[in-house]
Amino acid sequence: MARRETTFICQDCGAAYGRWQGKCDACGQWNTLAEESSASLQVSARAPRKGRLFALEPLAGAGHDAPRLASGLAEFDRVTGGGFVRGSVLLLGGDPGIGKSTLLIQVAAALARHGQRTIYISGEEAVAQVRLRAERLGLAGAEVELAAETSVEDIVATLAEGVIPRLVVIDSIQTMWTDLVEAAPGTVTQVRASAQALIRFAKRSGAAVILVGHVTKDGQIAGPRVVEHMVDAVLSFEGEGSHQFRILRAVKNRFGPTDEIGVFEMSGGGLREIANPSELFLSERDLGSPGTAVFAGIEGSRPLLVEIQALVAPTSLGTPRRAVNGWDQNRLSMVLAVLESHCGVRLSGHDVYLNVAGGLRIQEPAADLAAAAALVSSLADAPLAADAVYFGEISLSGAVRPVAQAAARLKEAQKLGFARAILPESARAEAVAEAGLSLKPVSSLANLVADIAAQPTDGGQRRTKYPRQEDG
């Protein structure tokens, strides 16, 4: 009989320990070790099984693209790379209440309307609750099969009966449990074993499976990181409750790009696809106000224009406040250091607030120039030109470095009615000016600061120098 022993497993990374300790040595997190009981491993007395031979194939050969099935939502297909691949497993994560279940019920209904068998299995809600959501979204007529079940063995046995479904939604993987593991649902052991059983079914049957995953307070998908390595794609559904915009981003994708995003708008009738997100993000611009700059960015293959807002205010605190929303905090600190060291802009006595309008999160360094322009504009109280876009990476020496796909950024700006673009000097040869769009290359951040300082303020005067630290 197997001897029982107690192990402590980290709920973040899955590392196992023989006794409890406050900090996990593997991932460095505190208070993440949970007690789990399991049967200790016993060495089998039987002779080892002789392995079977399998065929080896040469590296050279005809490659075939994996067949895809379009989901019916263009923005969802953009992120996944064109639709669902047979036998693929996707892991979707997002904050509670962000709209994961709403998105997946819309995807399942769109597939069902095209004659594909889709199954939605909920481990958190009853069937009646899922039906209420479908009725609110106007999807009650879709032939989506529902179930409220948490046993993985029962789910796999039910799915294997009859016609194999093309799409199976499991909401969520943290509520699933299997008889093979003696642990509570939601623990690392149960999540890993349940995910493995569902992945094995998907590869064997050819059905596409979507697993919904909870996220931690840091925004990471809860459970062991090994689950993210097991699945074929990891999607992140982002957004803020105060904004109606939702961003679907691919963190990992074995069958497509990982830098594409899909933009949705949350409304009373569910999630609505946004075909032109640039126009939507700029629809409520405050023209003529200091501290606002339009950034021409690239998300995957899609050019995207978004407004960056900055507020620089004097402070009486010993340590000025630095708050940023939608951008990297470390990137902001670097831009502020370059402004002080190479441009003479004294910000050590001011609070700095930076915000990306619309709830979008920017990850590319090309936003450095737009963020610096917004900061200097707010400090100098000099509004920037309303018909200008900014993009460029700032180096530690103060030079403005080129970024990729300058022509696509300029084309999107011209389409939305912008007349000029401030871009790196070395990108002028690559960029092709569109009709009616003039280019203003800058080689260093000091040149941009001087141009903004020479502009008239709201009072009609020109500001030629910035307040020093003792003046604030």
Q: What pLDDT, in 10s, does the model give residues 330-354?
A: 999 999 999 999 999 988 889 999 9
Confidence of residue 112 (pLDDT cuts 50, 70, 90): very high
Query: Fold for domain 70-275?
Result: Rossmann fold (3.40.50)
Rounded to an integer, the average pLDDT of 268-275 is 88
Identify the pLDDT of residue 41: 35
- Which band of pLDDT confidence, cut at 50, 70 and 90, is reported for residue 15? confident
Q: Is the pLDDT of residue 46 over 70?
A: no
Mean pLDDT over 417-428 rounds to: 86
> What does the pLDDT read at residue 217?
56
Interval 55-82: pLDDT, tens: 888 888 766 656 789 998 999 999 999 9
CATH 3.40.50.10360, domain 280-453, yes or no: no
pLDDT band at 47 (very low <50, low <70, confident <90, very high): low
How far apart CA 227 and CA 233 sit, in angstroms, is 11
More confident residue, 35 or 324: 324
Contact yes or no for 111/160 (Cβ under 8 A): no
Show me where the domains of the chain are located: 4-39, 70-275, 280-453
Q: How confident is the model at residue 273 (pLDDT cuts 50, 70, 90)?
A: very high
Query: Which whole number is the average pLDDT over 247-264?
Result: 89
Mean pLDDT of the chain: 85
pLDDT at site 277? 86
**Maximum separation of any 2 CA atoms in the chain, in Å:** 91
Q: Is a pLDDT exceeding 70 seen at residue 466?
A: no
pLDDT at 1: 43
pLDDT at 188 over 50: yes
Q: 9 pLDDT band (50/70/90 cuts)? A: confident
